[in-house]
A and B are shown apart, each in its own frame.
Chain A
Amino acid sequence: MRARDNPFAVHRIHALRFRLTDEGWRELLARLSTLGCRAAIVGPEGSGKTLLLEELGARLGTLGLAPCLLTLRRGERRPAPEARAALLAGLGPADVVLVDGADELGPLAWSSLRRAARKAGGLVVTSHRPGLLPTLWTCGTSVELLADLVRELVGSEEAEALRPRLAALFDRHRGDLRAALRALYDLYGASPATAGPLPGA
């Protein structure tokens, strides 16, 4: 299968939306307000934290706030000086600092960043563990959620055929949906057809 036709190609995964109803968004935004706009999105690897943070940033933007995103890579104990300076320059009450992967930071770097972000109107981070800031949302995964995402990507009929495999994939990747979807990319990529059902599905 051509990469462009693979239903699990990254651009299709990135087009998925976080599963949250309008009512859920209202609750989340109300809770964020209650927490003084300083809070953490918590959850294991591949549970949608980054996606939720990005969508939250977009929603805050529609409310007249200015989201400022800092993404930390695995093992990045402190942000690059240029990235940190660009993020923190001229922060004001209308700015909301979004830090993806805040638990990668060392204690000093986190403390320094948190202090510098006081000038901003908000600070929202993602973390694998609770404790950096009050928890705004805990992301979780399930086989049902994986099945729902697969249904959106390949359609109901093909998703039904895949269904028996999804529980095993979910277990093999310990609930990491990103990893499970990448595994499905490989399975589809092995198909000789330009499009079609998963071999053996």
Chain B
Amino acid sequence: MSWLKVDLDEGRAAFRPGEVVRGTASWSLDAPPASVEVRLIWFTQGKGDRDVGLVETMPCPAPGAEGRQAFAFPLPDGPYSFSGTLVSLLWAVEVVALPGSDAALAELVASPSGREILLPREMPDAGAR
């Protein structure tokens, strides 16, 4: 049975901008893929179509059917992890076996507080004093 997974070091899943996300991607596939990529991404979920930002890619050329790859991605200044009623923005490290669609990811939070920013359901009236 094929599998891929991403483990973040020490199980840590909350980071501040500028911190380095470290961990290990590992896989066991039925056959050696052409390549494996480990990616730092952000993406949206919600009512609208999904937006994706590819921040950094670490290629693993000529990988075997089984393997592991350590990674270290410095987090950029933004965007921060947040959730509102209409859209959430999430960060993740994903590992993808190419060609094909086999992939796995580990979600993480990126924000100055280390917590997902929750938007108020209704924005305060800009004109209110």
Chain A residues in contact with chain B, CB under 8 A?
1-4, 6, 9-11, 182, 185-186, 189-190, 192
Is B129 part of the contact surface with A, judged by Cβ < 8 Å? no
Per-residue CB proximity of B18-52 to A under 8 Å, as 1/0? Answer: 00000000000000000000000000011111100
B128 interface hit (Cβ, 8 Å): no
Residues in B neighbouring A9, C-beta threshold 8 A: 45-47
Cα distance A186–B90 in the bound complex, in angstroms: 21
| Residue in chain B with minimal CB distance to A8 | B47
Question: Nearest chain-B residue to A188 (Cβ)?
Answer: B85
Are A3 and B45 in contact, with the CB atoms below 8 A?
A: yes
Say yes or no: A4 contacts B88, CB within 8 Å.
yes
Using a Cβ cutoff of 8 Å, how many contacts connect chains A and B?
Answer: 41
Q: Give Cα A6–Cα B88 distance, bound, in whole angstroms.
A: 10
B67 at interface by CB-CB < 8 Å: no
Known A-B contacts: A3-B85, A4-B88, A10-B47. Give 13 more (CB < 8 A): A2-B85, A2-B88, A3-B84, A3-B86, A4-B46, A4-B83, A6-B47, A10-B48, A10-B49, A11-B50, A189-B47, A189-B86, A190-B85
Q: How far is the CA of A142 from the CA of B128 in the complex (A)?
A: 47
Who on chain A is nearest to B101 by CB? Answer: A58
Assembled-state Cα–Cα distance A185/B48 (Å)? 11
Known: A9-B45, A11-B45, A189-B86. A2 touches B118 (CB 8 A): yes
Question: Are the C-beta atoms of B90 and A4 separated by less than 8 Å?
Answer: yes
